[in-house]
Amino acid sequence: MTVAGRGAVEAVDSVLVALADPTRRHLLDLLAAEGEATATMLAERLPVSRQAVVKHLAVLDAAGLVSGGRVGREVRYAVRPAALDATARWLAALAADWDRRLATIKRVAEAAERDSG
């Protein structure tokens, strides 16, 4: 690992992969707006079939970004902020790490500059 725990990497990976698809991000937006929705409802608002939506929801669920609960004959999905928040923190920490390293490189370079110049 570079900056945080190793077990978290797979979790971050699944979230990043999930978020990389525009249709899935659209689904998340709809879910966040609606509060709760079924695959059928979501498919009506998207230019894809219900089955496509179901597959996307499965990916999002595996990443911990949504969770679905059965109510009668339908399955209602809702958004889950935790995994998203964790990934945001991971990225922020990584960016901070890069900053730190670049600052170090710069100092070293300037020192070498002074020595030779």
Partner DNA sequence: TCGATGTGCAACTCTAGGGTTGCATCCGAT
Partner DNA sequence: ATCGGATGCAACCCTAGAGTTGCACATCGA
Q: Which residues bind DNA (CB under 7 A)?
A: 17, 21, 23, 38-40, 47-52, 54-56, 59, 72-75
Does 67 help bind a copy of itself (rule: CB under 8 A)?
no
State how far the Cα of 115 lies from the Cα of 41, in Å rounded to an integer.
68
Beta strands (DSSP E) in the chain are 66-71, 74-79
Find the angle CA(70)-CA(24)-CA(98) to the nearest 5 degrees.
Answer: 120
Residue type present at position 19: L
Between 19 and 46, name the residue whose CB sits nearer to a copy of itself: 19
Residues that bind a copy of itself (CB under 8 A): 2, 13, 16-17, 19-20, 22, 25, 29, 32-33, 35-36, 78-81, 84-85, 87-89, 91-92, 94-99, 101-102, 105
